Structure 1
Amino acid sequence: MSVGRAANAVENPFLTRPIGRLFLSNALPMVVVMSTGGLLNVVDGIFVGRLIGADALAAVSLAFPVVMLLTALTALAGGGMSSLLARHLGAGSRTRASAVFAGAHGLALALSVVLILAALTIGPATISFLAGGNPAVAAPARDYLLILILGAPVQFGLGLHADALRNEGRAGLIALLSVLVNLLNIAANYTAIVCLDLGVAGSAAGTVAAQALGLSLLVAVRGRSSSLLPLAALLRDNWLSGWRQILALGLPLSLSFIGMALVVSTVLVAIGTDADGADQATCVAAYGVVTRMLGLAFLPQMAIALSTQSITGNNVGAGRVDRARAALRLAMASAFLWCLSVALAGMFAGGTLGALFSTDPAIATAVGAIMRPMTALYAITGPILVMAMHFQAMGYPSRTAVLTLAKPWILTPALIVALNAAFGARGLWFAFPVADAVLFALALTIIFWFRVPDTAPLAPQAKEVA
């Protein structure tokens, strides 16, 4: 081991702290970060629906695919950067880490320009088509999305700096700032919607304003700390470098978010072709409640997976595959326990949870009927996500792609269509546990057939060998 590597091992807590304490110190703050963001979405939906009206709520719902696209693009730049950044930091190469950090900023800026140009050219016509020509829905949706897309550089920058700090061992700081920013976001949205009477546009403006504040705070933290990658690297290094690697490693996670939107759209189309009138409205409303609850349930397991990514990347970069594997086992066990509790809640308390969202007993009953099959094998989803991010951190994008994309892009949509055609609306919900079972078989195949070598880690600059 070189002197540089030895010095880095003492300074980097990812390489020296006991695995159990290391996992908790990274996973718990990330759970706070992800969960508060999910709660913000719920509260914002309540503000829009109760304080503005049904058309406004429909407009925000219409914007869901584009909001997921923004999330996906944030994950594309930040997720790909994280895999490289963590391994470079673990190997003690701050120069390469700084270069990746700068390159990710260039990629995020390029994505922002493309997105803004698309919004200004084809955005209005697309929104009008999706709204079915209804101006009461199309107009607020257009205003809402235009503000969010013009603010995309801020969202992407916030994601990059938060991911960088996470991989530099500052998860606790990110959690503290996340709680602060989300509380301010709620206050800003309420002020813009109620006090300033800006409607749906006020919700978007409040979100962008809070994101700008969060980015400013993260930049200030980096500028005041000598132990973090310097801001000067953004002026010194090439913003056009490393895009290919960042894209390759970030694409699976990014596409998984887009796949979620695809699954939701497929379900809504299936409901529309099978149910009529009041039954259709009840089923759509119940499915909306289920997606909100499972969306919140997904965030803690994603937080565990992202923490695993940071721990794996740093330790693999330093040649400590043994520590990476120990953290992986702990993370998979934690994710399993969390997802098991969600599955039990879905099995036995779905109707009770549904009643929290509506006073209509038909909707509460439908929520329970949907959640029981959907969550039947939910307990295995968390460990598979953790395994996927472990592979991503090691530099294996193809394995990550199989574990994160096969279900939302292929298995679930195909099974929804097939089971809905065979058994109607009641049968389509069984597409989810069947897809989980097939994905579990794929995960076992990857684990036992394509084994990762124990003798040496994958170097940060190495290419994956199929």
Structure 2
Amino acid sequence: MSVRPASNTVENRFLTRPVGRLFLSNALPMAVVMSTGGLLNVIDGIFVGRFIGAEALAAVSLGFPVVMLLTALTALGGGGMSSLLARHLGAGDRSKAGAVFARAHGLALAISAGLIAAALTLGPSVVSALAAGNEAVAAETRSYLLILILGAPVQFTLGLHADALRNEGRAGLIALLSVLVNLLNIAANYVAIVLLGLGVAGSALGTVSAQILGLALVLIVRARDRDLLPLGALVQASWLSGWGRILALGLPLSLTFIGMALVSSTVLLLIGTTSADHASYVAAYGVVTRILGLAFLPQMAIALTTQSITGNNVGAGRIARASAALRLAIAVVSLWCAGVALTCLVAGEPLGAMFSEDPQVTAAVAAILRPMTALYVFTGPILVLAMHFQAMGHPLRTAVLTLVKPWLLVPALLVLMDALAGIEGLWFAFPIADAVLLGLALLLIRRVRPIASLSAAPSAEKAA
């Protein structure tokens, strides 16, 4: 099977549909896709906390930094590929799009091999350090993470195909497959954790099994849909070339998730040295990461939708359409973040009680959530703006908006607040970092004036 040349018979919906309908038809399915994954994590946490116990919840919470690392490495290949793929598709060059698709597969497999090697050599000592001497928790964490890391090649490849389908205008199809796979995953986790008593390892086995099923389904879809890039594209270009540009464009988004892993690791280490009730606070922080992880995913769906629309339209020279989509995305994501902040402010204890009957855990969940989300309303708009820049091929601007907070601001502020106020003041590091990042974003907007420059495009493009 060969790569098909550009054809006028294949409609690019990103260039022809009204911007409002285009945004909704892509953002809503992507929100469903990502939210079902987040909902799976929440339900999985409820299974672990209620049917195994607070110690098991602490064990999977210790694994959160590594789970975020896996997400980061998935974004490294998929995010960088998406920026290039969308622009090639927008320009009608399916041959170049197919070459990028193939090269991203080679990069994903290389990253998988390096990750597995690192896990087998360094993993046990890293987990022991995070467990602060609690060997029972550390042992469960190791078994949980080993299964997930061995399944990384499947996760990375599935991520590439999902990103490609998104940029090919198949967001609705991804949503349908995602809901199906995640429902099966929830069922598998219930069987493994509750009925078979496999503990936290059962959670990991259910996740990897669902990923294998999901990859098989998307391969079948791609093989049967002639409007998609064909599977034959994977053998028409070298898998060992072109990694540099993919890495450069995917690195800012990937480093954002790695930064989240760095922040989580810092929090866990500080809890170990500050709190006398180490296991309860680790369990509570794990609950918070699952709640905020679920809240973050619709934001990411909106940001990825913006990335696809911007990339396709910039590739076709239709800049004003990208500007209109950006403004709409910022408005929608601001409303979502405001709702999340309000919920966390008033419902901290009930949210914690969903995961654990331990009153110390539920009280700690509320104490963590309230300060952490004080300025949460600004996080979504900054992410959307960052992905807009990334789709236009500006990785440095993306890096400013995505990397300063997790890599510099939050770790430094965590250490400072821990020294000044202990465990109670630790969580105020997050809103302080949000305030500083907002200032940086406003300064960057003022200097580069992205919206103003986009609005200067010819009015004829707006009609398109």
TM-score normalised by the chain length of structure 1: 0.90
Aligned partner of residue 95 in structure 1, secondary structure: helix
Which whole-Å CA distance do the structure 2 matches of 1:161 and 1:142 have between them? 29
Which whole-Å CA distance do the structure 2 matches of 1:224 and 1:355 have between them? 46
Query: How far is 1:381 from its partner?
Result: 0.9
Q: Which runs of 5+ in 1 are unaligned?
A: 458-466
Indicate if the aligned counterparts of 2:157 and 2:215 stay in contact, CA closer than 8 A: yes
Query: How far is 1:104 from its partner?
Result: 0.3
2:148 maps to 148
Correspondence list, 1:33-432, <5 A? 33-131=33-131, 136-277=136-277, 283-359=281-357, 363-432=361-430
Which whole-Å CA distance do the structure 1 matches of 2:225 and 2:357 have between them? 52
Letter in 1 for 2:426: L
Aligned partner of residue 11 in structure 1, secondary structure: coil
Letter in 2 for 1:444: L
Indicate if the aligned counterparts of 1:100 and 1:241 stay in contact, CA closer than 8 A: no
2:461 maps to none
Which whole-Å CA distance do the structure 2 matches of 1:360 and 1:138 have between them? 21
Deviations 1:67-116 (A, max 9, x none): 21111110100011111101110111111110100000000010111112
Which whole-Å CA distance do the structure 1 matches of 2:129 and 2:425 have between them? 30
Indicate if the aligned counterparts of 1:73 and 1:254 stay in contact, CA closer than 8 A: yes
Letter in 2 for 1:238: S
Aligned partner of residue 232 in structure 1, secondary structure: helix
- Whether 2:5 is the aligned partner of 1:7: answer no
Indicate if the aligned counterparts of 2:284 and 2:365 stay in contact, CA closer than 8 A: yes
Deviations 1:150-209 (A, max 9, x none): 211111110000000000000000000000000111122233345555443332222111
Query: How far is 1:132 from its partner?
Result: 5.5
In structure 2, the CA distance between the partners of 1:362 and 1:400, relative to structure 1 (3 Å rule), is same
Query: How far is 1:6 from its partner?
Result: 9.7
Query: How far is 1:52 from its partner?
Result: 4.0
Query: How far is 1:415 from its partner?
Result: 1.5
Question: 108-117 or 354-363: which moved more?
Answer: 354-363
Which whole-Å CA distance do the structure 1 matches of 2:240 and 2:318 have between them? 31
1:442 maps to 440
Which whole-Å CA distance do the structure 1 matches of 2:354 and 2:200 have between them? 24
Query: How far is 1:13 from its partner?
Result: 0.5
Indicate if the aligned counterparts of 2:45 and 2:355 stay in contact, CA closer than 8 A: no
Letter in 2 for 1:70: L
Query: How far is 1:409 from its partner?
Result: 0.9
Aligned partner of residue 231 in structure 2, secondary structure: coil
Letter in 2 for 1:396: H
Which whole-Å CA distance do the structure 2 matches of 1:270 and 1:134 have between them? 15
Percent identity (aligned)? 74
Which whole-Å CA distance do the structure 1 matches of 2:360 and 2:129 have between them? 31
Indicate if the aligned counterparts of 2:132 and 2:269 stay in contact, CA closer than 8 A: no
In structure 2, the CA distance between the partners of 1:267 and 1:40, relative to structure 1 (3 Å rule), is same
Deviations 1:217-258 (A, max 9, x none): 101101001110010010111112221111011111111111
Question: 435-444 or 186-195: which moved more?
Answer: 186-195
Indicate if the aligned counterparts of 2:45 and 2:287 stay in contact, CA closer than 8 A: no
In structure 2, the CA distance between the partners of 1:114 and 1:436, relative to structure 1 (3 Å rule), is same
Q: Which runs of 5+ in 2 are unaligned?
A: 459-464
Indicate if the aligned counterparts of 1:319 and 1:456 stay in contact, CA closer than 8 A: no
In structure 2, the CA distance between the partners of 1:434 and 1:193, relative to structure 1 (3 Å rule), is closer
RMSD (Å) for aligned C-alpha atoms: 2.4
1:460 maps to none
TM-score normalised by the chain length of structure 2: 0.90
Which whole-Å CA distance do the structure 1 matches of 2:415 and 2:11 have between them? 53
Which whole-Å CA distance do the structure 1 matches of 2:117 and 2:136 have between them? 25
Which whole-Å CA distance do the structure 1 matches of 2:382 and 2:155 have between them? 28
Query: How far is 1:272 from its partner?
Result: 4.0
Indicate if the aligned counterparts of 2:166 and 2:308 stay in contact, CA closer than 8 A: yes
Letter in 2 for 1:67: V
Query: How far is 1:363 from its partner?
Result: 4.7
Give the paired residue count: 451
Indicate if the aligned counterparts of 2:81 and 2:104 stay in contact, CA closer than 8 A: yes
Indicate if the aligned counterparts of 1:112 and 1:152 stay in contact, CA closer than 8 A: yes
